[in-house]
Chains A and B, each alone.
Chain A
Amino acid sequence: MPEEEGGSLIHVSIKAEPLFHIGPFEFTNSMVGALLASIVLLLAAWYITRRSALVPARVQSLLELPIEWMTGIIAGSSTRWKGYVALILGFFLMILVANWIGLLPGVGTVGLLHEDHGETVLIPFIRPASADLNFTLGLAIVAFGVFVWWGIRVNGAAGYLKELVGEPRYMAPLMFPIHLISELSRLISLSMRLFGNVFAGEVLLATMVALAPIVVPAVFLGLEAVFGFVQALVFSLLAMTYITLSIAEHHAGGPGHENGHEGEHEEHPNVEQHPTDAASVQVQPQS
């Protein structure tokens, strides 16, 4: 592309570009990335379940490694980890694959030439799904729904509202909006963090390829591989922490109850569904 046209050397589009239309819907290149990530995950799952052995071979243990490692971390988060381990693992693997697809050769460079306002721009066939705000916002909405649902399920709807209102009841007019905004800001920061990091990574790679196309991009490709992993980890760990927090808010009765309560979990798994039962089982000075 000619260098005289300012800005056409590095073409950056903040939103995913449509490839073709199906009726009123646009089929964008980030959808191709998301589909590709899903296909990779499905193939890995198919492979691992078809030929799984008790003593894993090389490929199988490679595929099992992130799952076992992540499950270990999630299992340490709370006693009810089995209720959300699948979701968090799904977040982690999907974001990891979606991020790393953006590093494959040809992903941002092979595409259609398109006339736009008199200048020719390249619309790549594949755009990594997490460089599209729709994808990250969708994941964040799922995470948000799940941690609110866990909060309501563990504390009850009234208990969840009570958490939002806060402890001294007369401060409610001030604290309720603050708590509400802080809940909603989790949604924004979860989605914006992932999108911002991956998109900035793509822009960085494009800039480096345009400036020094020989050796320099390799360094940044390695950096982006690490960042893709870290961002997948950060998103899933934050989602896990939010879920753990909304479960643990039930224990906020007093600092001394924590250990006694944990012990109750092992014997009565459904204690938390019935807060009144838990109160009668435990010797609590005030409930």
Chain B
Amino acid sequence: MEGNIAAGLAIGLGAIGPGIGLGIAVSKAMEALGRNPDAAGQIFVPYILGIALTEAIGIYALVIGLLLIFVA
């Protein structure tokens, strides 16, 4: 039971930071795209990489949550 509460807290709190970070990253990418639509090809790869690295932190929280439910 405590494990389930801890897992919920872990993923819930752990999703705050990546959520804010992803929002900033996407908004900046869209801003750049709006200013210069021709740069879409050049923005794409660094954008995907930045998204992936930001999202990894949320995935860490998910892994901790899964560990709390299934292993502990």
Main secondary structure on chain B at its contact with chain A? helix
Contacts of B71 in A (CB 8 A): 14
B 22-63 contacts with A by CB, 8 A: 45, 48-49, 51-52, 55-56, 59-60, 62-63
Contacts of A225 in B (CB 8 A): none
**In whole angstroms, what is the CA distance A234 to B48 when docked?**
7
Does A273 have its Cβ within 8 Å of any Cβ on chain B?
A: no
Contacts of A76 in B (CB 8 A): 45
Question: Which one of A36-44, A101-109, A192-200, A253-261 contacts B?
Answer: A192-200
Residue on B nearest A196 in the bound complex, by CB: B59
Contacts of B51 in A (CB 8 A): 234
- Tell me which of A189, A233, A237 contacts B56 (CB under 8 A): A189
The reply to whether A237 and B55 contact each other, CB–CB distance below 8 Å, is: no
Does A241 have its Cβ within 8 Å of any Cβ on chain B?
A: yes
**In whole angstroms, what is the CA distance A238 to B55 when docked?**
13
The reply to whether B59 and A197 contact each other, CB–CB distance below 8 Å, is: yes
The reply to whether B56 and A73 contact each other, CB–CB distance below 8 Å, is: no
The reply to whether B45 and A73 contact each other, CB–CB distance below 8 Å, is: yes
Q: Shortest Cβ distance from B45 into chain A, in angstroms?
A: 6
Does A178 have its Cβ within 8 Å of any Cβ on chain B?
A: no
Q: What does the 1/0 interface line of A194-231 toward B look like (CB < 8 Å)? A: 00110110000000000000000000000000000010
The reply to whether A193 and B66 contact each other, CB–CB distance below 8 Å, is: no
The reply to whether B62 and A237 contact each other, CB–CB distance below 8 Å, is: no
How many residues on chain A are close to B (CB under 8 Å)? Answer: 16
**In whole angstroms, what is the CA distance A192 to B60 when docked?**
8
The reply to whether A193 and B70 contact each other, CB–CB distance below 8 Å, is: no
**In whole angstroms, what is the CA distance A233 to B55 when docked?**
14
The reply to whether A192 and B49 contact each other, CB–CB distance below 8 Å, is: no
**In whole angstroms, what is the CA distance A3 to B25 when docked?**
42
The reply to whether B63 and A237 contact each other, CB–CB distance below 8 Å, is: no
**In whole angstroms, what is the CA distance A189 to B66 when docked?**
16
The reply to whether A193 and B55 contact each other, CB–CB distance below 8 Å, is: yes
Contacts of B63 in A (CB 8 A): 192, 196
The reply to whether B49 and A14 contact each other, CB–CB distance below 8 Å, is: no
The reply to whether A237 and B70 contact each other, CB–CB distance below 8 Å, is: no
Between B45, B52, B63, the greatest number of chain A beta carbons within 10 A of the residue's beta carbon is seen for: B52
The reply to whether B45 and A237 contact each other, CB–CB distance below 8 Å, is: yes
**In whole angstroms, what is the CA distance A192 to B67 when docked?**
12
- Tell me which of A73, A193, A233, A241 contacts B59 (CB under 8 A): A193
Q: Shortest Cβ distance from A231 into chain B, in angstroms?
A: 8
Q: 25 interchain pairs (CB within 8 A)?
A: A73-B45, A76-B45, A189-B56, A189-B59, A189-B60, A192-B56, A192-B59, A192-B60, A192-B63, A193-B55, A196-B59, A196-B66, A197-B55, A197-B59, A199-B66, A200-B62, A230-B48, A233-B48, A234-B48, A234-B52, A237-B48, A237-B49, A237-B52, A238-B49, A241-B49
Q: In the complex, given contacts A193-B55, A234-B48, what are 13 additional A-B residue pairs having Cβ atoms less than 8 angstroms apart?
A: A14-B66, A73-B45, A76-B45, A189-B56, A189-B59, A189-B60, A192-B59, A192-B60, A192-B63, A196-B66, A233-B48, A237-B45, A237-B49
